[in-house]
Structure 1
Amino acid sequence: MKILLVCAGGMSTSILMRKMEQYWKEAGEELEIKAVGLGEYQDVYQKYDIVLVGPQVSYRIKEIKENTNLPCAAIESFDYAVANCPNIMRLAKRLYAEKNN
């Protein structure tokens, strides 16, 4: 699965990205993930299956969906804050299933 993480500047999501990579690896799942800011996602989204959006930019999710035509969802604030990788993985898998249906 290839996930694009979008936040305001890409900094906080890069921390989450590393935790997600470790969690997926321990779960035996394949994952390619990249964290970018709002100003960058349009340059790279074509390489990804789904888009996960940080809660601080969730107000832009409609625009991101329209621009990428990919399944998109905002990560819940609490899950984002504590890097709740099991919940984030479930969200990602649900979106990925949408893409493949």
Structure 2
Amino acid sequence: MADKVIALACAAGMSTSLLVSKMQKAAEASGKNYEIFAKSTADIDNMLAANPKPDVLLLGPQVAFMKAEVQKKAEAAGVPMDVINMQDYGMMRGDNVLANAENLMK
């Protein structure tokens, strides 16, 4: 079982899959046992109700307009969340996105 679960949500869950792969490689290179996955924003309610819940939820920049709505749900579930930095997303900097997720989990 993973030490931490990092969930990413984007419009369809597809464009984020490459970023997930880069984040997993960065985590493995640091010797961390994380479960990292991407799903559609339509799955956010299910992710926050799951057992276990993710340790952090990151929104893709293309759905940043949903931040206020998702923030309320995430706070109610006790899950920290933020929007992925647009430059890190565009450049697929998995290490930077992973570092941001780890900061949110502290």
TM-score for the superposition, normalised by structure 2: 0.84
Q: What residue is the counterpart of 2:71 in the other structure?
A: 65
Displacement of 1:85 in angstroms is 2.0
Task: Answer yes or no: is the 8 Å Cα contact 2:19–2:93 preserved in 1.
Answer: no
Q: What residue is the counterpart of 2:97 in the other structure?
A: 88
**Structure in which a larger fraction of residues adopt helix:** 1
Q: What residue is the counterpart of 1:5 in the other structure?
A: 8
Structure 2 gaps of 5+ residues are none
Quick one: distance in 1 between partners of 2:15 and 2:90?
Answer: 9
Aligned-partner SS, 1:39: helix
Listed as ranges, the matches of 1:1-101 within 5 Å are: 1-45=4-48, 46=50, 47-69=53-75, 70-97=79-106
Structure 1 gaps of 5+ residues are none
Displacement of 1:34 in angstroms is 1.6
Displacement of 1:78 in angstroms is 1.0
Quick one: distance in 1 between partners of 2:28 and 2:61?
Answer: 25
Task: Answer yes or no: is the 8 Å Cα contact 2:22–2:95 preserved in 1.
Answer: no
Aligned-partner SS, 1:11: coil
Structural RMSD (CA): 1.2
| Greater than 6 Å deviation, 4+ residue runs | none
* Identical-pair percentage: 32
